[in-house]
Structure 1
């Protein structure tokens, strides 16, 4: 066997070792051994008719080593890429299942807030908004503006909120009203995270969750309760979800005097008339982030009246999230409520009022009966006097 035959056989062996071995050192060691043996064969056949120069052998093995190393790298890269793709597919399925448990619908929007073709969960959005399959189907939801699903009063606010979000911004919550097929309002929480796809295009991952009031809230009083306090009421809530984390003792007492359960969301503290303005103001303060001075807010607190508040946003290291503390300043003088039967019933004094009312009715009826009896007695006495005065002449005539 001369050097040429050995080099052809060694090249096949090197390809075989490079493709099957896990580490690179067996392939490098075999290449070095084959190079030494080829140089030995060249020296043994130096007197042949067509000798092979050592420079050619060195160049040949160098090119083979570089080519096989590049081929090995491509093979390993493809294998790792397939394994990583399989792992990410499994993780995507698990995360998608978890998201669908937390949210009613998970969607993907482009930079213009239009549903993309990758939004396979748009059928859940159609079901949530009571859209029939004939009106809005899965293909019909694609290339449709996400803002069309919301109340026209909230569309500008939502568009401005998405426009101000940055790539490194955390997941933010947005409260708004969606419109179903019958143009009824559906209160939802919208969570969004921004990312970039393979084409470096801006995308939004949207999670939509319907707000459902589980607890039955007691009816509010027409007039505020007789509450006089000098202390301020403090409420701490999470910025991303608007969920209340802490109630001060004075706030718990205030809710109990109103006869309502503890609210779950910070937006439930405002009345229906001031809910939108309070939500917009909260969103503006939250978007500004940490501030040196607390922000001043005013809203109608649980239909009790207009109150002034101080709002400060900070990062909680224990919870690892942004929290906001709102300090409510109540007026020191309590509003006066008229003494009516409805107010006494709300304060638990209905029995006393009914007793007083029944006693008053009894006295009134007795006075009426006494007046009727006195009137009848006066009538009978007048008749008697008239009969006596009329009877005297009759006796004289007899």
Structure 2
């Protein structure tokens, strides 16, 4: 009779466990939509679900971090199990070889645990957050079954003692608590069935005692799972806050001279080398500035103002910016700009992140005066390039254009003589003609920069340095003039001065014809000018360079103007 009961227990328990799993899976698959609709229509269940989510806390990133940690610990636990089970099997085989115990039992549960742990250790990718509960149920089913297959009398206390550590650790690492409750319930029913079939009606193996033990184990599992979840949430929150605080500190460091972190009492949490440099502290004490109040480094008048604006608990202000007077180690007053941002640490205490920047003693800029044409030429040189023989203007730089615009409008003067007033135009013409005639008499290398003087547009005396050079692209002798205005007249433009100015050019047709004539000839000479650089005439003039030469004016892109409108 006892043998029959043992056989029933040995073979019926795995069948009951497998049947329970099949029924549970089939019920969930067949009534999935029914359960979803029932819970959706039940307001009480919805409120309970929201309350449970608030109690759990965290977000999707926290859940992912928790699942990843569970998978890692599951892999490590199974690796340890594989090592221990292999050592157990090797030790039993050594004992058999030594004939220490010829009647040694066949450890089927050790062999099954070794096979499972070895498979998972060899293929760690099998354990994922989605398959974590599957592995948990599979290991517990095998653990329940292997204790009943050996042909020895099974004691419920042995089943509980051998399976408790593994069940507890795996239940803590499981993803869903419903799977843990289901496996514990099946294990409890199995233990009660074994105790009743063995005729144990009271004592330590009674039903009440088993229910109490399994209930205590379930509550311990819940507590450990909650502690592990809170630990992961704190870890994720700490990582986020560290990243945010580091990003804000890096941003403030780029804008401020020193960035420090303060506690709720406005004391420095750690030493700051940047603040020590601002305060001119060459030999700081042990610990540096950590623990010191930042208000001690400000003047008496600014301490109260900073305390009212920053440390006021009534005003809910996240950031404050103000100017204050700071004292360095020599008690010198330093004007600084203070930017203070509030945040809360892990203990929900108010802390501050403060940026300090020293203000430079700069005078305010002087207001801009009226745009007088005579003042526009004060800083930049006035450059003009013209034809030596026809006196036609080819290039004027930007400063020269702005200076001539009030007198000639949007058109460019045709001749270089138009820049001189009536009483000095003849003198300028003679000076330029003498310079042009010198080309036929002297060698070009012997002709250096020449200074000419004339009355520039009737309001200033001008000294111009003229340099002559042969331009291969235009195939003509070109002159460049660098103007220097001296003895500027303060007289206004009167009617008598207007009579001395040349008549305004409407369209500059003569200049346009001359420019078109040169441009047509220059197109054909562009290709030949490169080959003609080795000619005697070109080689004799290649060494001629002076201030304001034509080659330099070719690089003035913005100053290149023709006879078109400005």
TM-score, with length taken from structure 1: 0.46
More strand by share: 1
TM-score, with length taken from structure 2: 0.34
More helix by share: 2
Larger of the two Rg values belongs to structure: 2
